[in-house]
Amino acid sequence: MTEISKAKRDGFSSKFGVIAAAAGSAIGLGNIWKFPYIAGENGGGAFLIIYLVFIVLIGLPVMMSEFIIGRKAQQNVFGAFRSLSKTGFWRIIGVMGVLAAFFILSFYGTVAGWTIEYIYLAISDSFAGKDATEITTMFSDFSTSTFKPLALQLIFMGITAFIVLRGIKKGIEKYTKILMPLLLLIIIYLDITALSLDGGMDGLKFLFQPDFSKITPKCIIDALGHSFFTLSLGMGVLVTYASYFKSDINLTKTSINVAAADTIIALLAGIAIFPVVFAFNTEPGVGPGLVFVSLPNIFELIPGGYIFSIFFFLLLALAALTSSISILEVVVAYLSEETKMSRKKATLLSALAISITGALATLSMGVLSDFKIFDKNIFDIFDYLASNVLLPLGGMLISLFVGWVLKRSIIEDELSNYGTNKIVSIKIFIFLVRYLAPISILIVFLHGVGIIKL
């Protein structure tokens, strides 16, 4: 890319906007919908500890690596690796990233569609007077049906495409800045209520008291996959976002802030959900419906519950939106910068294609539920392939690239903003990206898919 076209690229206008957009990508359904349900499936406390270790030792260095690559190259993922290395090999990260974007956005759109239905259910006061069983049935009747979930998924994809079309400053930054803090407040309110429920403390124990006998290879690979998924790592989202960063953004601080905000929201979501699950005697391991079958139980009990239920699902949908636009942006930036396609055409085309694969994920809850591979339906297959295979492998390659290929001076320049701030310890960073992160990812991966036994 020439200097002139670089100068014309869109960019984030403020530092807060940068953090809000990166945090907006990280914070989403992964925190509020997925984290509680896979923690529930994997026995709670022990899963949580492994997940936190992965966030710090692997997630953070990989995030910093993506930021370094993106800001240095000022391009989409493909272009970035092309301009930073002479060999074509590293472009595989871009290919895997676009593939992962397809898989993730497919099932993400399904769940985002559910949140839209739940906004409507909240507005029409449909949780009122229902017991836990009825609330569970309400979810399963809806999610296994055909037309409504499909239509809602399509609406969600349409909105995502609309925002991506409007570009970075007017679109992504504007919407994320206000919404995330609001979401935080509502979740804290739900936490307080949930903790005051009779039997609620058992939920906290479940989440925070580790039972190490529950650690299985599946638990470990789920924790690794989720640490990538929740931080939006391994597929070039953050490479792409960092390509819009200005030179005064501190990459280390931004990484720590984003990872901390993301982890706090996930924990607070868990603290809201598990006490409800235990107080109402439902199952923590029910799977993808967890947030939809647990939280509606408490809205009736809390002051202002009606209003809060509306806000909660509305903000959940919006949190999903700020993540989904970042996923679509990977595909759009690639198509519009690497091919001659206009941004508009790239957006419409990719949104349409993803809506089609997404329909398969949605229908796999109902009419296509008998179609299974390794006992997983299409929804779970998409999630598994993206979160547990493509993202960790992408993350491994990204850290190897920064650790072994990228010039040390580039890393130092980017981390120190060309000497204007101090780098905490370049040695630790290099050790993490050269050895610790890639080797741990490889071991967990091979162990998780059963190739090696520890």
CA distance 185 to 52: 23
Q: Which of residues 273-302 bind ligand PHE (CB under 6 A)?
A: none
Question: Which residue type does 135 have?
Answer: I
Rg (CA), the chain: 21
| Closest CB to ligand PHE among residues 316, 415 | 316
| Closest CB to ligand PHE among residues 39, 327 | 327
Alpha-helical regions (H) of 339-390: 343-363, 378-383
Name the packing angle between helices 174-195 and 251-279 (round to 10°).
40
Q: Which x/- pattern over 327-366 shows residues binding ligand PHE (rule: CB under 6 A)? A: x---------------------------------------
Among 17, 24, 28, 296, binds ligand PHE (CB under 6 A): 28
CA distance 263 to 244: 24
- Shortest reach from residue 58's CB to ligand PHE, in Å: 15
- Shortest reach from residue 360's CB to ligand PHE, in Å: 19
76 near ligand PHE, judged by CB under 6 A:
no
Stretch that binds ligand PHE, among 135-143, 196-204, 228-236, 280-288 (CB under 6 A): 228-236
- Shortest reach from residue 35's CB to ligand PHE, in Å: 8
Return the number of other C-beta atoms located less than 10 Å from residue 178's C-beta.
10
- What distances in angstroms separate CA 329 from CA 179, 321, 322, 350, one per listed residue? 19, 12, 11, 10
CA distance 382 to 34: 14
The string of DSSP codes covering 19-54 is: HHHHHHHHSSHIIIIIHHHHHHHTTSHHHHHHHHHH
- Shortest reach from residue 408's CB to ligand PHE, in Å: 29
Length of the chain: 454
Among 18, 19, 26, 286, binds ligand PHE (CB under 6 A): 26
C-beta of residue 413 within 8 angstroms of C-beta of residue 84: no
176 near ligand PHE, judged by CB under 6 A:
no
Q: Which residue is nearest to ligand PHE (CB)?
A: 30
Return the number of other C-beta atoms located less than 10 Å from residue 306's C-beta.
16
Among 17, 24, 30, 394, binds ligand PHE (CB under 6 A): 30
Return the number of other C-beta atoms located less than 10 Å from residue 446's C-beta.
15
31 near ligand PHE, judged by CB under 6 A:
yes
29 near ligand PHE, judged by CB under 6 A:
yes
Among 237, 265, 272, 291, binds ligand PHE (CB under 6 A): 237
Q: Which residues contact 397 (CB under 8 A, 6 or more apart)?
A: 90, 92, 93, 96
Q: Which x/- pattern over 101-140 shows residues binding ligand PHE (rule: CB under 6 A)? A: ---x------------------------------------
Torsion of CA 322, 328, 333, 339, to 10 degrees: -170
Stretch that binds ligand PHE, among 122-130, 224-232, 366-374, 375-383 (CB under 6 A): 224-232
The string of DSSP codes covering 82-146 is: HHH-SSSTTHHHHHHHHHHHHHHHHHHHHHHHHHHHHHHHHHTTTTTT--HHHHHHHHHHHHT-S
399 near ligand PHE, judged by CB under 6 A:
no
97 near ligand PHE, judged by CB under 6 A:
no
Tokens found for residue 91: 């472009």
263 near ligand PHE, judged by CB under 6 A:
no
Stretch that binds ligand PHE, among 25-33, 64-72, 174-182, 403-411 (CB under 6 A): 25-33
- Shortest reach from residue 304's CB to ligand PHE, in Å: 27
Q: What are phi and psi of 275, to 5 degrees?
A: -60, -35
How many residues interact with ligand PHE (rule CB under 6 A)?
15
Stretch that binds ligand PHE, among 157-165, 194-202, 227-235, 434-442 (CB under 6 A): 227-235
CA distance 302 to 187: 13
Stretch that binds ligand PHE, among 21-29, 289-297, 351-359, 404-412 (CB under 6 A): 21-29
Among 115, 153, 232, 240, binds ligand PHE (CB under 6 A): 232
C-beta of residue 36 within 8 angstroms of C-beta of residue 289: no
Q: Which x/- pattern over 178-207 shows residues binding ligand PHE (rule: CB under 6 A)? A: ------------------------------
Stretch that binds ligand PHE, among 29-37, 83-91, 335-343, 420-428 (CB under 6 A): 29-37
How many Cα atoms sit within 13 Å of 63 on the Cβ side? 30
Q: Which x/- pattern over 301-330 shows residues binding ligand PHE (rule: CB under 6 A)? A: ----------------------x--xx---
Tokens found for residue 433: 């990206």
Stretch that binds ligand PHE, among 28-36, 163-171, 204-212, 241-249 (CB under 6 A): 28-36
CA distance 245 to 189: 34
List of residues contacting ligand PHE (CB under 6 A): 25-26, 28-31, 104, 229-230, 232, 235, 237, 323, 326-327
